[in-house]
Amino acid sequence: MSLIKDYRIKPDSKVSLKDFDPDDSGPFKDKNEVVEDVEADRQKLVELQERLYAEKQRSLLIVLQGMDTSGKDGTIAHVMTGVNPQGVQVIAFGPPSPAELAHDYLWRIHQAAPSRGRLGIFNRSHYEDVLVVRVHQLVPEKVWRARYQQINDFERQLSESGTMILKFFLHISKDEQKKRLQDRLDDATKNWKFNIGDLAERKLWDDYQRAYEDALSKCSTDDAPWHIVPANRKWYRNYLIMRAIVETLEKMDPQYPPPPGLDKVVIED
């Protein structure tokens, strides 16, 4: 069953996040209904990623964005379980370093793009430069507004160079975020995840929602589509994203390279 297309944002669409239910779980009532499908997709992902790595002709970039506690780390951990780590690169983008600030904002992003044969995952991404930069007014409005087209041009260049791009906005409610933050306080094994700065960012919830709506509206293209993934239910979030990755790799249909004259190889005793 393919459901991910229902969450894909068409180019030039006007997005209002209030129109998307973060509690949505599609036709399913609980995670037990998708256990077999998830396991089947996991096996397909392992095989397809191995073929992509062997082929070394194209790559797949997965962009994960969302509010604090939306599940970017959890998505990576669950969806990538069992995949050969040699063919996967995960980049978590934090505040730019002094060296990165000395270049244009896409410089560090381009360097982190997956090489041929790899499946790359961005935990946060170049979209921070039209999100946090906008909300905190780190640059003038005319600067961040120009970045939507710059980002579209950059992603088109990646696509034309052989990198398929999937972008997922992990959509949670403000109430769900509060529950997850409280869980990090209450569970000693999760205390390390709690960042006091997240509380200050939470106060800017509405500003971030508007910034995300503009990014989703202006930067969902045929080359690099955005998907709004309901993420209050972690199991449905993981199901949808894994399904999307598998479907994309199946369309790419990577192939093992032909053996280089192995029929003439003799292994001596």
For 63-74, the pLDDT digits (tens) are: 999 999 999 999
Average pLDDT estimate for 244-248: 97
Average pLDDT estimate for 209-214: 98
pTM (predicted TM-score)? 0.95
Q: Is 52 a residue whose pLDDT tops 70? A: yes
Please state, in angstroms and rounded to a whole number, the distance separating the CA atoms of residues 220 and 61: 15
Q: Is 185 a residue whose pLDDT tops 90? A: yes
Please state, in angstroms and rounded to a whole number, the distance separating the CA atoms of residues 225 and 169: 11
Which of 267 and 58 is assigned the larger pLDDT? 58
The answer for residues whose C-beta is within 8 angstroms of residue 208's C-beta and 6 or more apart is 67, 131, 135, 201
Query: In the chain, what are the domain boundaries?
Result: 4-252
201 — phi, psi (to 5°)? -65, -35
CA distances from 130 to 76, 138, 210, 213, 253 (A): 23, 10, 11, 11, 34
Q: Is 1 a residue whose pLDDT tops 70? A: no
What tens digit of pLDDT does each residue of 82-139 get? 898 999 999 999 999 999 999 999 999 999 999 999 999 999 999 999 999 999 999 9
The pLDDT-based confidence of 57 (bands split at 50, 70, 90) is very high
Angle of helix 234-252 relative to helix 72-79, nearest 10 degrees, comes to 60
What pLDDT was estimated at residue 259? 80
Please state, in angstroms and rounded to a whole number, the distance separating the CA atoms of residues 95 and 101: 9
Average pLDDT estimate for 160-178: 98
Topology at the third CATH level for domain 4-252: Rossmann fold (3.40.50)
What pLDDT was estimated at residue 264? 79
Of 161-165, 229-233, 260-264, the least confident: 260-264
Q: Provide the mean pLDDT of the chain.
A: 95
Tokens encoding 156? 């088109």
Please state, in angstroms and rounded to a whole number, the distance separating the CA atoms of residues 119 and 150: 23
Please state, in angstroms and rounded to a whole number, the distance separating the CA atoms of residues 38 and 214: 32
Average pLDDT estimate for 168-175: 98
Please state, in angstroms and rounded to a whole number, the distance separating the CA atoms of residues 21 and 4: 15
Q: Is 36 a residue whose pLDDT tops 80? A: yes
